[in-house]
Amino acid sequence: MKEATLQVTKESGCPEGSHMLQEAIDNICATWKQMLDLLTGLDKDKPLTEEILADHQHPVTQLMLTIYSLETFVYKSLNWASRLGDLNKVDSLGPYAQVMDRIVFGAIRGRKDELDDSKFRDLDLFRGSCLSETQIKEYEDHVGSGKAMSIFGYISCTTSEDKARSFASDDLSDINKPKYATVYHIKWTSGLGRCWYFDDSAYPDEKEVLLLDGSKFEVLSVDKQIKPDKSIVII
């Protein structure tokens, strides 16, 4: 409810302290309460366990996944906070983020018998993105340093370099902070412990692999490729 209140206050345009704003807050909180009240016959004061969150048929797990899939402010705020490492969201979204982390981890663990772990211990992954000069410089400074870096958030990658390149493009919407097409080339050696293979993805040609939030990497190189159609930074 705390994050819902923050989002309504920020996005509604209603004057702070106004009756209209309070009414909007009351309405959104009532809506979320109605959604949570869909869980019936359960002790809602009972702590969530690894066993509950690993059970995709459990009503709590299904509701948590439904909330994320609705693409409300929860989806946007959680992904943005995770990607930027925004600690201000820990109080309002931290518990939900932990629940989702355990659900994903449980799903990964449940598939180890049907996927070949050895294929995920020497795997080339690619991700298309865009980075500012400051962000690129940070990667350059880590080349050969032996220090690990983290890419915040759950990272969607592909085994297809061409597909990743198609997602990499310049973002010049802010002329003061331009971002440049970037492709991550990740040598994944951690097996299935911290990644999820989307063989049921909506876009199967992507051959999508999701890396868990907080995965650490050593930067081996940063190269800039200048071509007639597109200039790309390869990390």
What Cα–Cα distance (Å) separates residue 143 from each residue in 138, 163, 212?
A: 9, 25, 23
| Cα–Cα distance measured from residue 129 to residue 173, given in angstroms and rounded to the nearest whole number | 15
* pLDDT tens sequence across 20-58: 888 888 888 888 888 888 888 888 788 888 889 888 889
- Band of the pLDDT at 199, cuts 50, 70, 90? low
Report whether pLDDT(221) > 80. Answer: yes
Strands 179-188 and 123-132: antiparallel
- The long-range contacts involving 39-46, CB below 8 angstroms and separated by at least 24 positions, are 39/63
| Cα–Cα distance measured from residue 112 to residue 192, given in angstroms and rounded to the nearest whole number | 7
Q: What is the pLDDT of residue 193?
A: 73
Q: In CATH terms, is domain 117-234 a member of 3.40.630.30?
A: no
Report whether pLDDT(200) > 70. Answer: no
Domain map (residue ranges) of the chain: 2-109, 117-234
The answer to which of 45-49, 148-152, 163-167, 204-208 has the lowest mean pLDDT is: 204-208
* pLDDT tens sequence across 87-144: 888 888 888 888 888 887 777 777 666 677 787 888 899 988 888 888 888 888 999 8
| Cα–Cα distance measured from residue 193 to residue 191, given in angstroms and rounded to the nearest whole number | 6
Helices (H) and strands (E) in the chain, counts: 8, 9
* pLDDT tens sequence across 56-87: 889 888 888 888 887 777 877 887 777 777 78
Q: What is the pLDDT of residue 202?
A: 55
pTM over 0.85: no
Report whether pLDDT(204) > 70. Answer: no
Amino acid at 225: Q
Q: What is the pLDDT of residue 126?
A: 92
Amino acid at 72: T
